[in-house]
Amino acid sequence: MTLQVALFGEFGHGNLGNDMSCRAAQERLAQQVPEAEFSVMVRDTGRTEQALGLPAVPFARPHGGSLPGRLWAKLVDLVVMLRVVSRFDLVVVPGTGLLEEATALLPGGHLVWLVLLSFACRARRVPLVWMGLGGSPYGHRLPAWVAAWAARGARRRSFRDTMTRDAMGRAGLDVTHDRLVHDLVLATDPRPVVPAASGGQVVVSVVNLPVDRGRARYAAVLAQAVDRLAAAGDAVTMVVMDDSDLAMTDEVLARLDGPAPLTARPADLDSLLAVLADADVVVASRYHALVGTLLAGRIPVAVAHAAKDAALLAQAGLDDYVLDIATVSADEVLAAVAAARADAGRAGPACDQVCQAARTSVGAEVAAVATLLDRVLERR
């Protein structure tokens, strides 16, 4: 008998990390529950089906306008969500940073959608699973309270780092029985790791940093670093992980004194790993660019824009390669690149260890979700 499983999130909108998380969860669950059929629940189907090869079901309608108009639209969205959820036997929220605080004071964006999803699943008695979600410490009580309320609707919860679980605990959620797993993409089945063909290959991946967090300074620092790497004979490739990073990449390129490096826009994990395999060092600010670097067996230099970046490298024992995006200089980037090259012999064992730990923790969580699906099947 076929089981209908929905994967909920921001998929198919140009964020490669989100799409890789969705695909990783789907592939793992399909191995455990071959009778399951998968769809994705997204705000706007757009390019989702093409990006993931899965049926896409919209759970909201486009809207804007005044605050009262948006509030009314959210009520309409709840009605849509109730109807969509009723089609499925299980809803899974796989990975990604949906629990990150969206604004300074008011809950919004992802947190609102998670609340609506929680309510809809409760109302329709459809099991809801949070699998390896990531978040951030909450600076204000209201977003924290909203996130905790949304979490209470999940039948099973796991988080991708202690920082996220602790933040939810401080928000008032009982996390006693919640599990810690690694990032879902990090648990991907191993690919052959090809040694870099030659030295002097550096990949740089930026993040779309807001103006009020030092965007211009960040672009200038990376441009100086790229110019100096190229002048020293390194071949540099800029890797774009998210559509929102295209403008930031262009800003860095516009500030270069030397020739522009190659630019790559991977479409999936395999094409990302193919680019990273040619590098001996990766300098990245995007979380899943760092994840891909570990999968490729390279030491990543994180120009960290969020605590999750440092948490990831700490899991691999590579936290000495974390630079603060707010204070980083081109000298620090070049020094970290040189240190990573000198430490190349450490890369393979460190990456293998954290990836194997990820496969173990995520595998156990997927097996538990599969057991939940078996119970759903038995009740039919």
pLDDT, tens digit, 9 for 90 and up, residues 83-128: 999 999 999 999 999 998 764 444 557 888 899 999 999 999 999 9
Q: At which residue do the structure tokens 């620090």 appear?
A: 332
Residue 196 buriedness (CB in 10 A; 0-12 / 13-18 / 19+): middle
Q: What is the structure's pLDDT at 178?
A: 97
Find the range with the poorest average confidence among 45-59, 237-251, 288-302, 320-334.
45-59
Question: What single-letter DSSP state applies at residue 187?
Answer: G
What amino acid occupies position 250?
D
76 vs 211, higher pLDDT: 211
Interstrand relation of 128-133 and 156-159 (parallel, antiparallel or unpaired): parallel
Structure tokens at 77: 């969205």
Residues 48 and 170 in one domain: yes
Residues 171 and 238 in one domain: no
Residues 160 and 220 in one domain: no
Is 68 domain-assigned?
Answer: yes
Is 58 domain-assigned?
Answer: yes
pLDDT digits (tens, 9 = 90+) for 199-220: 689 999 999 999 999 999 999 9
Residues 145 and 44 in one domain: yes
Region 221-243: mean pLDDT is 97
Residue 154: band (very low, low, confident or very high) from pLDDT cuts 50, 70, 90: very high
Report helix, strand or coil for 268. Answer: coil
Percent of the chain beyond pLDDT 90? 77
Mean per-residue pLDDT of the chain:
91
Question: What single-letter DSSP state applies at residue 193?
Answer: P
Structure tokens at 82: 């109730």
- Give the whole-angstrom CA distance, residue 294 versus residue 276: 10
Region 60-67: mean pLDDT is 62
Rg over alpha carbons for the chain, rounded to the nearest Å, is 21
Structure tokens at 171: 């928000």
Is 369 domain-assigned?
Answer: no
Report the domain count for the chain: 2
Is 193 domain-assigned?
Answer: no
Closest CA to 130 of 182, 94, 78, 168: 94
With contact defined as beta carbons under 8 Å apart, do 150 and 111 qualify? Answer: yes
Residues 212 and 158 in one domain: no
CATH code of the domain in which 43 resides:
3.40.50.2000
Residues 6+ apart with CB under 8 A from 140: 101, 104, 105
DSSP 77-105: HHHHHHHHHTT-SEEEEESSSTBS--SSS
Structure tokens at 72: 């009314």
DSSP H stretches of helix in the chain? 16-32, 48-52, 67-85, 110-124, 141-151, 162-170, 215-231, 246-254, 269-276, 287-295, 307-315, 330-342, 344-378
Range of the domain at 309: 201-353
Q: What is the structure's pLDDT at 70?
A: 63
Residues 249 and 157 in one domain: no
Residues 86 and 207 in one domain: no
Residues 144 and 215 in one domain: no
Give buried/exposed letters for 32-66 (b at 16+ CB in 10 A, else e).
bbeebebbbbbbebeebbebbebebbbbbeeeeee
At residue 205, φ and ψ (nearest 5 deg) are -130, 125
- Give the whole-angstrom CA distance, residue 293 versus residue 270: 12
Residues 154 and 283 in one domain: no
Using the Cα atoms of residue 82, residue 85, residue 91 and residue 94 in order, give the sign of their dihedral: negative
Q: What is the structure's pLDDT at 71?
A: 63
With contact defined as beta carbons under 8 Å apart, do 127 and 90 qualify? Answer: yes
Residues 9 and 137 in one domain: yes
Closest CA to 137 of 108, 99, 175, 176: 99
Residue 141: band (very low, low, confident or very high) from pLDDT cuts 50, 70, 90: confident
Region 364-380: mean pLDDT is 87
Is 359 domain-assigned?
Answer: no
With contact defined as beta carbons under 8 Å apart, do 26 and 38 qualify? Answer: yes
Residues 85 and 159 in one domain: yes
What amino acid occupies position 229?
L
Q: Is the pLDDT of residue 228 over 90?
A: yes
Residues 247 and 333 in one domain: yes
